[in-house]
Chains A and B, each alone.
Chain A
Amino acid sequence: MTPPSAGMLGIGIVIFAGLFLTLLTLLYRRYPLSFRNITAFMRTRRAASMVVEEGTRLHVSIGNANLLTPSAASALAGLALIRHLGELTSLSDYPPITTTGSPTINLLAQDTLRTAHEAVATEQTFDLNNGRLTGLTPLSYVAGVMPTIRDEKISTNVLIGNFGPEVGLLTEAADRQRTPILAASDSLPAQAVLYAATQEPLIGEELFAAGAYTQAGPGHAASLLVQDTLRWFIILALIGGALLTIFGEFLP
């Protein structure tokens, strides 16, 4: 339980964000939102649309977040991306593959792949083994993903979720195959590694913008605006707090 004042503030933020998100989602068709360009997302969309023509495969890895921890949100953002990119690429002779290091997230990934597969109604039968659990510890998970990047005719890699610094091994594996990579993590050490190891790293909350930039739906675009609005509130609160502290020094 949180203290009463913090609890009320928390409820206030959640209710405000929920209402604002609902309103923006409903208004999206009338007032579509536009966002700044993030080259990595544009390149990934282009690469995903080429997968069907080239007869290659898309690989999405969503890290090893446990569904019962806050880091699961990054994996859920990855699942939203799987849903959309899965629909784009399920028509390929080689349907998309997902890899995870978490059994619960793997079940969700398999279900999301199946939903995407059914949405495009291809004649191919759905193979549950396209959603793969590769290991239960961070390093065994990475060790299991590396052969997938090498052996499965992958032309585009998307790594979105909870990774540690070991994500460097995956970027290296993708680099050796000369396949483009979109990588984002909610962990700070992994972001530092990705900054050094990838051409266009995604930093901080850009991870959660993946759905909006791949046109996964109005809800994703709206949630991005809610994030930005809340961020401005936090910035104003921080500046206000700093000013009050400064003036408090001079007041009797």
Chain B
Amino acid sequence: MRRIFPIINAVIAIGAGLIVLIGYFVDVRGMMEFRLLLFQWAVIVGGVAVLIGIWNLFSVHLQKIRARKRESVYSLVLLFFLLLTLFLVYFPILLQGIVSNDLAQVNTVNSVNAIILDGIIIPVEVSLMAVLAVTLTVATIRMLRARTDLSAMVFLITAFLTLFGIGLRSFFGQIPVISEFAQSQVITNVLAAGGARGILIGVALGTLTTGLRILLGIDRPYGGK
């Protein structure tokens, strides 16, 4: 059975992949419906994967707590708030039959959601973004020391001119020459858009060949040797 399972997996994966791919290009009767059915199954599997993922998160941090390392206090905090959030959001739904049209109960759950989202998640993520801004500034300064080749210089000069030309406009208004340079059609529509398209074409070709490797069974991310 250990040999048969990988083969069955490969046949199912390649078959499903081919059906979805052909259905994208050709309108064969029944193909579209079957393709949609496969997508629906994928969405359901994705939903179950979220539950498994949360269990994985729980299990990893429980393992850290059991190891009694100094850092395990963070894992303890994470697990406490994970369980608290699950309790606050899902327990009322399960117990009180929120699926019914009782608006008062629906509002209670929504307000708990809003407190968790607006009061904790968004402020924490915004502060991480602020840390990211500082991190990127430091990385840019470090880049000035580490790399002094032509492409690095062009990158840095363009970044600074764009930052000063567009970023500071709301404080100081249009800065002569620099703002015009940063907003010029040559920079935004020709150089930047051309470069971005070139990179995206490369990424698209990589995506195509990665997909083909899976369709041909060369890569098997679903297991098997």
Q: A residues engaging B (CB < 8 A)?
A: 1-2, 7-8, 10-11, 13-14, 17-18, 21-22, 25, 66-68, 70, 73-74, 76-77, 79-80, 103-104, 106-108, 110-112, 114-115, 119, 128-129, 131-137, 139-140, 142-144, 147, 151, 165-166, 168-169, 171-172, 186, 188, 191, 193, 195-197, 199, 203-205, 207-209, 211, 217, 219-220, 223-224, 226-227, 230-231, 234
Decide yes or no: A165 and B71 within 8 Å by CB, A18-B216, A129-B56, A136-B53 being known contacts.
Answer: no
Cα of A66 to Cα of B213 in the assembled complex, Å: 19
B159 to chain A minimum Cβ distance, whole angstroms, is: 8
Is B56's CB under 8 angstroms from A196's CB?
no
- With A73-B206, A143-B128, A188-B200 in contact, do A219 and B222 touch (Cβ < 8 Å)? no
Distance between Cα atoms of A188 and B202 in the complex (Å): 12
CA of A79 to CA of B211, assembled, Å:
13
Query: B203 — which chain A residues lie within 8 A by C-beta?
Result: 74, 186, 204-205, 207-208
Which one of B45, B56, B147 has the greatest number of beta carbons of chain A within 10 Å? B56
Q: Is the CB of B24 within 8 A of A103?
A: no
Checking A169, A196, A223 against B155 with a beta-carbon cut-off of 8 angstroms, the contacting residue is A196
Chain B residues with CB below 8 A from A133, complex form: 53-54, 56-57
- Which of A7, A10, A166, A208 interacts with B128 by CB under 8 Å? A166
**Chain A to chain B contacts (Cβ below 8 Å), 14 pairs:** A17-B212, A73-B206, A107-B52, A112-B223, A147-B71, A168-B139, A186-B203, A186-B206, A188-B199, A196-B136, A196-B140, A196-B143, A219-B218, A231-B202
Q: With A17-B208, A196-B136 in contact, is A80–B56 under 8 Å at CB?
A: no
Alpha-carbon distance between A79 and B213 when the two chains are bound, in angstroms: 13
Given A103-B54, A203-B199, 16 other A-B contacts at CB below 8 A? A13-B208, A66-B46, A80-B219, A110-B56, A111-B223, A128-B59, A133-B54, A140-B125, A147-B71, A188-B196, A193-B136, A199-B147, A204-B206, A207-B203, A223-B210, A223-B212
A229 CB, min distance to chain B CBs, angstroms: 10
